[in-house]
Amino acid sequence: MRTTLTILSGLLCASLGASPAPAEAVNAAGLAGLLSREHAHLFDPAGRQVLNDLNRGLREAEEQLRKATAEGDKKAARDRLEKGKADLIALLGKCPSLMRVTLAEGRLTPPQAGFVTLPGDRGAVLICLDNGPGSIQFVTAQQDLTEIRGERAVVAVRGIGPGSNWILISLTGVPALRTTLALAFEANQGQPVSWPIDLISQDKARLKIRILDEDGKPTPAMVRLTWATGGDVDVRPSNAVDFSAQFDSQGAATSHRIMNIPGGLWGYYWVVPGPFDMVVPAGEWRIMVRRGAEHVPVQDSFTTTSNQTMEKTYTVKRWVDMRKLGWYSGDDHVHNRILSDDDARRLMTYVKAEDIHLANIVKMGDIYRTWFEQRGFGKEYRVIDGDYILSPGQECPRTHQQIGHTISMNITSMVRDTDKYYSYDWVADTVHQQGGLWGYAHVCGPAFHVHRDMSVSIPQSKVDFVELLQFAHLGTDLFYDFLDLGFKVTASAGSDVPWGGTVGEVRVYSCVGDGEFNADRWFEGMKKGRTFVTNGPMIEFQVDEALPGDEVRVSGNRKLRVRARAWGDPARMTPIKLEIVRHSEVIRAQTGGNGQAEVKLDFELDAGCGFWIAARVSAAEGLSAHTTPVYVVREGLRFWRPEAVSRLTDKTNGWLDEIDKIVAEAKAANRAGKVETDRAVKQLAVQGDDLLKRVAAARKVYAELKDVAEKEKETRARAETPK
């Protein structure tokens, strides 16, 4: 950990007091990590590579020591740490900007540090302080010089012990040209000893950036701006939108959003509404400009020069325009407060920057309270700007240790009654009465035991959609289980910002077809199941003329034509693999060659006794996509996987057993008076009987499914017998 820096003014002794508490010194891995992350500029290119290797090796050795149980393994890990420490000291000793100083009898030699040149308004000072006989210690400190009051700047560096002290002082907010400050070393519980130091930082440069769409008009975008000279430091664009307060201090409540996509796009970005003009340190710079999944990211490097202006214009072009194909992107899970026009404007800028056409802005609740307040719900509270829409929804009910989180879209009022909090079916019915859609969050995991209520509500036909893709993870286990039991399930996706990285890092596409795009048509596409989810590649999928979510009804065994296409940005999504999944099994697959950004499949398939069938895509950099199935329904038969019915109903009944257990435990704890301060468990006990009635109804459905499977055997045998 880093030591705390104290800013001193006036006399050192009076400012510091008699005996300041020494700070804990960092270990070799801590120092190497800080140098590697923030101050690699202190070393030449060869030294940076050595530093990176040392940082990785020290971290691995620490992990090896933590996991070791045998004495031999522990010794090997300690030996590796000692060697890494020695190698780090050797590297530090070769640093061109290293300053050496000796402390003896309360005096420093040399008495002044001299000049230290920084690459800009931030940098670091590396010092080796010899404090007589003793051990080797590593000390880190940090200071923002803009926070110093008064004229004299004194920085106290605590934690100096006997022996060799390797000290790294991180500095930010350093004024241009020459700045004088004093380092006050506190050692051996004695009085601080001052060491004057002069910092030299060059004049600033001016940077003007314009970001345009394909029509040449300024557009909001996501921007990552890094100062390479200063060690790849992220720099905030001068006009970056600050909506952090709208996150209600939940999750990662910052406007500096991370992109949870593996590969070259990973990193932190700012929402930039338009052109910006700012003063920056001179030196090497890198910029990344993104506009969601359908645009080609722009990357550039440039050099700014002191007292000069650098002007750059970037045009963000599409590699695909899904609107022309009738598909519009959405994010079903965005947390953000909207209580004013300013709130709405900031969030709309964010959604435009990520090119999400419909964002479900969810007010969140649990059994105690709610967060992310909205002005209201329904059509009159939608925020619309061209073909971008913010639509208020909710994530509630939401239980962590009990039965999972739910999502509602297109509601006219929030549906919440804590006296019915475990009656998820009541919430679903009320949402449907409002004309809304209801489903489950975090199904890709699954998280928060969502499988439990899924096993209750899906058999009752309450569920409109499930989040299949989230946090860069496509999870299909639960999805396939319920499909194989013959239940229709629509694929959706949500970022879960601010716990997720950024809006639209995963997205659901809804088919609105020809004609004007609006929220009602987008929700209608979701209701029909005409969706696919993705964090990069795109899919087209048809069985005969049926789209995802549609039924193909057959009276006999006839040929069906299956057509699918997967494609992506050629620069970063190849190779692409397209798979056709029927009853959880891949029946056809095709992978494109290197540089091939499009893959197609076109084949015939027997309708047989019916099935569900979907398209799945995987692409380079860990990107993926999946459609909602097409349902091929043979008259008199379910489209399920009959040979799996017994196994799957046993599994779902096991999940229902879990509910029985948590209700029984809650009731027992309530009788014993142990849950008076735990409202979630208390209400589970109180409402448990109603929940168990739902469980019993679900068990009945699963029992009936086993009977149906037996009754279908003869029909299926006749249908499958060659004539």
User: What's the angle, vertex CA 373, arms to CA 367 and CA 378, rounded to 5?
Assistant: 100
pLDDT in tens, 640-659: 999 999 999 999 999 999 99
CA–CA separation, 408 and 391 (whole Å): 11
| Max CA pair span of the chain | 105
The closest of 389, 386, 616 to 491, measured between CA atoms, is 616
Under the banding of pLDDT at 50, 70 and 90, the label for residue 722 is: low
Residue 23 has pLDDT above 60, yes or no: no
Residue 108 has pLDDT above 70, yes or no: yes
Residue 22 has pLDDT above 50, yes or no: no
H helix or E strand, kind and range, residue 66: helix 45-67
CA–CA separation, 332 and 500 (whole Å): 12
Given 3-state DSSP classes, what are the helix, strand and coil percentages for the chain, each rounded to the nearest 5?
30, 35, 35
pLDDT in tens, 687-705: 999 999 999 999 999 999 9
Residue 399 has pLDDT above 60, yes or no: yes
- CB distance 136 to 25 below 8 Å: no
Under the banding of pLDDT at 50, 70 and 90, the label for residue 149 is: confident
Most confident range (mean pLDDT) of 120-124, 215-219, 232-236 is 215-219
Considering the chain, what percentage of its residues have pLDDT values greater than 90? 82
Task: At 436, list the tokens.
Answer: 């809304």
Backbone angles phi, psi at 632, to 5 degrees: -90, 115
Say which CATH superfamily domain 536-640 falls into: Immunoglobulins (2.60.40.10)
The whole-number pLDDT of residue 13 equals 32
The whole-number pLDDT of residue 379 equals 97
pTM for this structure? 0.88
- Topology of domain 204-315, CATH: Immunoglobulin-like (2.60.40)
The predicted model gives 101-121 an average pLDDT of 91
- Tokens 């803009």 locate to 146
H helix or E strand, kind and range, residue 561: strand 559-567
- Tokens 């969050």 locate to 441
Domains 204-315 and 536-640 share a fold: yes
Boundaries of every domain in the chain:
6-201, 204-315, 536-640, 643-720
The closest of 540, 534, 539 to 623, measured between CA atoms, is 534
Residue 14 has pLDDT above 70, yes or no: no
- State the distance between the two ends of the chain, measured CA to CA, in whole angstroms: 77
Residue 158 has pLDDT above 50, yes or no: yes
- CB distance 405 to 335 below 8 Å: no
The whole-number pLDDT of residue 398 equals 98
Burial profile 316-332: b = 16 or more Cβ within 10 angstroms, e = fewer = bebbbebeeebbbbbbb
pLDDT in tens, 535-556: 999 999 999 999 999 999 999 9
DSSP per position, 165-186: EEEEEEEESPPSEEEEEEEEEE
The predicted model gives 269-293 an average pLDDT of 96
Residue 467 has pLDDT above 60, yes or no: yes
The predicted model gives 86-99 an average pLDDT of 95
Under the banding of pLDDT at 50, 70 and 90, the label for residue 12 is: very low
The predicted model gives 434-456 an average pLDDT of 96
DSSP per position, 495-527: --BTTSSSTTSSEEEEE--SS---HHHHHHHHH
Q: What is the rounded average pLDDT for all residues in the chain? A: 93
Distant-in-sequence, close-in-space partners of 343: CB < 8 Å, separation ≥ 6 = 243, 246, 336, 337
Residue 15 has pLDDT above 90, yes or no: no
3-class SS of residue 156: strand
Whether residue 575 has a cis bond before it, omega within 30° of 0: yes
The whole-number pLDDT of residue 25 equals 60
The whole-number pLDDT of residue 516 equals 92
Considering the chain, what percentage of its residues have pLDDT values greater than 70? 96
Residue 8 has pLDDT above 60, yes or no: no
